[in-house]
Structure 1
Amino acid sequence: MRILIIGGNGTIGNKISQYFKENNDVIIAARTNGEFNVDITNSQSIKDLFDQTGQVDAIICIAGEAKWSPFNELTEDDYYIGIKSKLMGQVNLVRIGQQYLKQNGSITLSTGILADDPVVKTASAAMVNGGIHSFAQAAALELENGHRLNVVSLGMVEDAFEKYKDYFPGHNPIPMQKVINAYVRSVKGKINGTIIRYYE
């Protein structure tokens, strides 16, 4: 399979990329340090990426940001960071990317536990994650050419435990093998319109 991974050099992306590289042709795209550079907040940048890569069998996005801040300190512009990046960035990857997806290809987006179990300072991030879930379930109903669309929604992953543990008191870190399995399930399985939740 020819697989494009956006954000393939990050904490999660690196593990996913290494797994799929064992038996597939993997293309890494990132904001600054990929084989191809892409700014997912910019639709033209996304189109330019696909014009360079050509057709692929699978698209995985593990990219996008949102502002973490106390609710009473979040400004309207703070909310737009997540809306433009993690939400619309992934929506546009689906909207544009489907045109470069081979028959029976798949698209996998990424969110997180905040959609279902938010913690403090995550009003913006939780909103964005929930929006992606609703979008994917609806858009999956209308995809053509056998295309599939799923979302991987993870809890705090093992490799990020030290960095984020104070935000998630009492949460169990997700083993990285379980993280890999979530993306494998989306890419290699037959599910469509599914939110793959691994929270424990």
Structure 2
Amino acid sequence: MKILIVGGHGTIGKPVAEHFRKEHEVLIAGRSAGDVVVDIANSASIKNMFERTGPIDAFICIAGEAKWAPFDSLSEEDYYIGLRSKLMGQVNLVRIGRQHLNANGSITLSTGILADDPVIKTTSAAMVNGGIHSFVKAAALEMHNGIRLNVVSLGMVEDAYAKYKDYFPGHNPVPMHKAVNAYVRSVMGKGHGEVIRVYEN
């Protein structure tokens, strides 16, 4: 398979890419480096990326940002950071990218535990994650050509524990092999329209 991973150099993206490279052709897309460069907040950049990759069998997005700040301090523009990047960035990847997928291709988006179990300072991020879950379930009903669409929703992963532990008191970090397996399940399995949750309660 030819698999494109948007955000393949990140904390989660790197081990996911390393796993798929064992048996598949993997292309990495990043904001500033990779086999192709893309700004997912920009539709023209997304179109250019897919024109450069040519037809692919699957793509995974493990990218997108949202503002973390106290609710009282969030401005309207702060919300638009997450709406433009993590939400509409992934929506546009699906909208544009499905035209470049081979038959029976796979699309995997990424969210996180905040959609179901938010913590302080994550109003914007939680809202965006929940919106992506609803988008995937609805858009999956209208995919064509055998294309499958899923989203992986992870808890705080082990490799990010030191950075984010103060935000998630009492949360058990998700082992990286479980995080990787969630993406394997989405790409290689038969599930469609699924929110694949991996939380360590």
Partner of 2:45: 45
1:61 Cα deviation (Å)? Answer: 0.1
Deviations 1:23-71 (A, max 9, x none): 0000000000111100000000000000000010000000000000000
Partner of 2:101: 101
TM-score (norm 1): 1.00
TM-score (norm 2): 0.99
Supply the AA of the counterpart residue of 2:197. R
Deviations 1:76-96 (A, max 9, x none): 000000000000000000000
1:164 Cα deviation (Å)? Answer: 0.4
Partner of 1:152: 152
Q: Provide the C-alpha distance between the structure 2 equivalents of 1:9 and 1:150, rounded to a whole number of angstroms.
A: 21
Q: For structure 1, which runs of at least 5 residues remain unmatched after alignment?
A: none
Q: For structure 2, which runs of at least 5 residues remain unmatched after alignment?
A: none
Runs of 4+ deviating beyond 6 Å: none
1:146 Cα deviation (Å)? Answer: 0.2
Aligned pairs (5 A) from 1:20-169: 20-169=20-169
Q: Provide the C-alpha distance between the structure 1 equivalents of 2:152 and 2:34, rounded to a whole number of angstroms.
A: 22
Q: Provide the C-alpha distance between the structure 2 equivalents of 1:55 and 1:137, rounded to a whole number of angstroms.
A: 25
Q: Does 1:193 align with 2:172?
A: no
May I ask how many residue pairs the two structures share in their alignment? 200
Q: Secondary structure at the match of 1:105?
A: strand
Q: Give the aligned CA root-mean-square deviation in angstroms.
A: 0.3
